Structure 1
Amino acid sequence: MRNYQKRDDYRDNYRRGRRNDHRDEPQVEVEEGQRFPLTIKKMGINGEGIGYYKRMAVFVPGALTGEEAVVEVTSISHRYLRAKVHRIRKASPYRVEPRDSYADQVGGFELEHLAYPQQLEFKRDIVRQSLERYHPYGFKDYDVRPTLGMADPYAYRNKAQFQVRQTADGTVQAGLYAERSHDLIDLPTCSVQMPVTMTVMRALVKMLQDLEVPIYDEEHNSGIVKTLVVRAAANTDDVQVTFITNSKKLPHKHQLLLRMADELPQVTSVMQNINPGKTSLVWGEETQHLAGEETITEKLGGLAFKLSARAFLQLNPAQTEVLYDQAKKALDLQPGQTVVDAYSGVGTIGLSLADVAAEVRGMDVIPEAVADANANAALNGITNAHYEVGTAEDLLPKWAVAGFRPDAIVVDPPRTGLDGHLMDTILAIHPQKLVYISCNPSTLAKDLDTLTDDYRVDYIQSVDMMPQTARCEAVVKLSQR
């Protein structure tokens, strides 16, 4: 057994200090609606400004580092306050006017008021903040590289997934929920969406209105259409529409499809996903084909990928190629080496490695995604890649028993980070090379706290996949100690 005592002592000392920092939290008498001046000292990982009122942290969405503002308290917690900007007394030189008038009302525009070069600096900094919070071994010496951004940080999102509701006067609206609520904000425009997605979205809203298709009522759990999803392929002319509904019924379906065929010729695939009842999940398990093709095709890095309605694909096609190039560079596969693509989705990462790997294997828990991945391998004439349904923590040991132990593993987990069983499996399989693609710096830092028992962090390369938001992706190169 390895002796990790030195590393454990290192962690314990940092954590002991962190606990002591919060032992005597200040108590402040303050009321909701109270206003006071505040200087913003830094920005938090969610893009909000952070200042201190009588030593208590105050989180202020829309405020920037260095700004002086009068803020109004909106909520009170034992350890912190939340507030909104009432008036800015001294603005940051990096403050810009957002293109979207509703940027301060809905999620996904947390940084649109910040100049883009400073957005990139912020995203590098939130990686550092996350490391500082969880203290993985040796974190102060990590090479955290400048964020790779876009030449034009707008019109990049290939999918619009908008909730649909009907107002008291019968007007059909489609948009996003206001922050911390289920109040729908109608979005007639959206600067970060590919224009075709908004053109199709607004046309669909008008059709639903004209045909009086029943719209879902969340309060009474009645009506049919819950959500509209429009996904466009940036490098082909394909567009897919999915109606997410409360039941299998879709009243006026025939008339709706006729109008779509006549007015929206750019739509090549129409699907219906059934997601009944009140649920926090947007998608249901059953998807039906309504018209056109069952999939759309996107091209990335010289490869073609067929995408079914529920298949995961990064929202920013241009930066996806940058991200995967960085992953390929970090893996640095040599002739004869094998790789496993965990959380493989439709195979975009693994298939991009097939030209250098001796063999690519991957897995996903969604059967449709695995079917898409194997179909995409065949579509591109790739014969050294194979995908199976299941979890990596189940399949990796099974493959090891059969004699397959990969030289490298690449993981691209959801925002919740790596499954604990998968981390144990990775440490047991102990591949020579490990690349972690993260969409959440906090869970990345937490996972690195475990992975650095056996691996060293060579570098972290952040990539801006979602400009105007506080979201940050990063490619981490890890090597055996």
Structure 2
Amino acid sequence: MTKNETMIRLKKGETIRLPIRRLGINGEGVGFYQKQVVFVDGAIPGEVVVARVESVERRFAKARLLRIRKRSPHRIQPPCPVYADCGGCQLQHIDYPMQLKLKKELVEEAFVRYTSLRELPIEETVGMDEPWQYRNKAQLPVQLRGKKVVMGMYSARSHRLVDMRECGVQHPETNRILETARKTVEEIGIPIYDEKKHTGVLRHLVARFGFRTGEAQLVLVCRTDELPQERELVERLVRRLPQVKSIVLNINPKRTSLVFGEKNRILWGKETVDERLNENVYALSATAFFQLNPIQTVKLYDLVKEAAELTGKETVIDAYCGVGTIGLWLADRAARIIGMDTIPSAVEDARCNAKRNGIDHAEYHIGQAEDLLPRWVKAGLRPDVVVVDPPRTGLGQPLIDMLREVRVPRLVYVSCNPSTLAKDCAQLLQGGYELERLVPVDMFPQTAHVETVCTLSATKER
């Protein structure tokens, strides 16, 4: 046991008075009691709260907010009626300007913790003029309660489904599509999946809406490839939802927390729906990744283009390319775009998107960036710019090793996790890169998530 660990004196059930110092990565307030870290959901930095300890771990404790002794001037009444129960948002009780400030601090704190940098080239968080109704996609689990089909979000850190018919951060059309689908499923009596027994059919309802095109897609995620009363269900949905251009059955037969399975079957309409970002058109299949906030995505990708400093002569790697959105955004200023992704349908969408937008100097490959890029570099490829947009876990070690060895002139790292971004940058800074710019972007207002565009360049000397 270390010296710090012997200092932990808190006990479950104990009531404590706690000043809140900062925001945690999951949106909770963070305070220190007798040098022990304590997380309190719903507390805001600058407040003094009274909280009851609910659990004590080796390095931290979690406590439930009981009372506020000193109230933050940034505390507001959350507009969502199920905010306290639903796990979707974490910051609705904080005014929006303060949300942006706290998200910048999350990025700063991660870099102070994981790197040796103490002065950061960080800018203010890029926010939204209207931080509501911004999401273009929702995927909601369904349950049967008596004869009623319930649809919603799981409560934070639980598997209790919170019944909800409308979400303030979703576009009104996704709310409308999902509620209409839920009612139709209930009317017809489609068998609902029972997680404990692994029986029934329908597991999730998923809706995607194109802000610019008005095209929508509805996905029914089912345990089986057979959908009872399929014809009647589809006929009613098509009649009631004229904006829906594609209805897809996704088959997920496994006991898993993952939403989608590996196989799709088109029930009606097109295989993909279209969305536009500026002048680019993107075809989106049922399981393809696409940024969930198209308004902020334009700002994010413009920051990437600015960071890349392209002149028209460069070879650009678009790692973790998805349906090709970032690479195609840069294509008008690059000589060659090379993208890769592990999802075959996403790569096929990327190829189709390049063709539809008249881009013939972009190529897309199936595979992990960690595998393909080191192999290509070993074969002689020398990219001028590498753009990475990895999952929350960050970059794989083989890719970091390759980037340290090759030291590409410009590396643009788009991150959805400040901690893994800072950890990866710590290795890159030790491997011959310097940090030029950090720009937090608020892709998900009302939540604790923050996206960051990080620009690194290879130093002339190690």
Decide which of 133, 142, 152 is 2:120's aligned counterpart.
142
Distance in 2 between the 1:347 and 1:184 partners?
A: 34
Does residue 166 of the first structure (1) align with residue 124 of the second (2)? no
Residue matched to 1:307? 284
Residue matched to 1:248? 225
Q: SS of the counterpart of 1:146?
A: coil
Distance in 2 between the 1:45 and 1:342 partners?
A: 25
Please state how far the C-alpha of 1:25 moved relative to its aligned partner.
4.3
Residue matched to 1:387? 364
Decide which of 187, 195, 204 is 2:164's aligned counterpart.
187
* Contact 1:330/1:435 (8 A) holds in 2: yes
Alignment of 1:65-84 (within 5 A): 65-84=45-64
Residue matched to 1:43? 23
Residue matched to 2:39? 59
Q: SS of the counterpart of 2:333?
A: coil
Residue matched to 2:195? 218
Does residue 443 of the first structure (1) align with residue 424 of the second (2)? no
Which one-letter code corresponds to 1:157 in the other structure? R
The more displaced of 77-86 and 60-69 is 77-86
Q: Give the unaligned 5+ runs of structure 2.
A: none
Does residue 90 of the first structure (1) align with residue 67 of the second (2)? no
* Contact 1:464/1:472 (8 A) holds in 2: yes
Which one-letter code corresponds to 2:59 in the other structure? R
Distance in 2 between the 1:444 and 1:273 partners?
A: 33
Q: SS of the counterpart of 2:244?
A: coil
Q: SS of the counterpart of 1:251?
A: coil
Distance in 2 between the 1:440 and 1:181 partners?
A: 22
* Structure 1: 4+ residue segments shifted above 6 A: none
Which one-letter code corresponds to 1:279 in the other structure? T
Residue matched to 1:178? 155
* Contact 1:301/1:352 (8 A) holds in 2: no
Does residue 479 of the first structure (1) align with residue 457 of the second (2)? yes
Residue matched to 1:4? none
Please state how far the C-alpha of 1:374 moved relative to its aligned partner.
0.7
Alignment of 1:203-282 (within 5 A): 203-282=180-259
Q: SS of the counterpart of 1:46?
A: coil
Please state how far the C-alpha of 1:401 moved relative to its aligned partner.
5.4
Residue matched to 1:101? 81
Determine what percentage of the aligned residue pairs are the same residue: 44
- The RMSD of aligned alpha carbons is 1.6
Q: SS of the counterpart of 2:37?
A: strand
Aligned residues: 458
Q: Which digits, 9 at most, give the CA deviation of each residue in 1:395-452, with x for residues without a partner? A: 3344345543211100000001001111112223321111000000010011011111
Distance in 2 between the 1:116 and 1:329 partners?
A: 26
Distance in 2 between the 1:355 and 1:43 partners?
A: 40
TM (norm. structure 2) is: 0.96
Q: SS of the counterpart of 1:93?
A: coil
Residue matched to 2:273? 296
Residue matched to 1:434? 411
Decide which of 103, 106, 109 is 1:129's aligned counterpart.
109
Q: Which digits, 9 at most, give the CA deviation of each residue in 1:223-282, with x for residues without a partner? A: 111111101011111100101111112111111101101111111110011111311211
Decide which of 27, 33, 41 is 2:8's aligned counterpart.
27
Alignment of 1:2-21 (within 5 A): none
Distance in 2 between the 1:340 and 1:31 partners?
A: 51
Please state how far the C-alpha of 1:52 moved relative to its aligned partner.
2.8
Q: Which digits, 9 at most, give the CA deviation of each residue in 1:101-123, with x for residues without a partner? A: 22222323111110101100011
- Cα distance change of structure 1 residues 391 and 24 upon mapping to structure 2, 3 Å threshold: closer
* Contact 2:88/2:153 (8 A) holds in 1: no
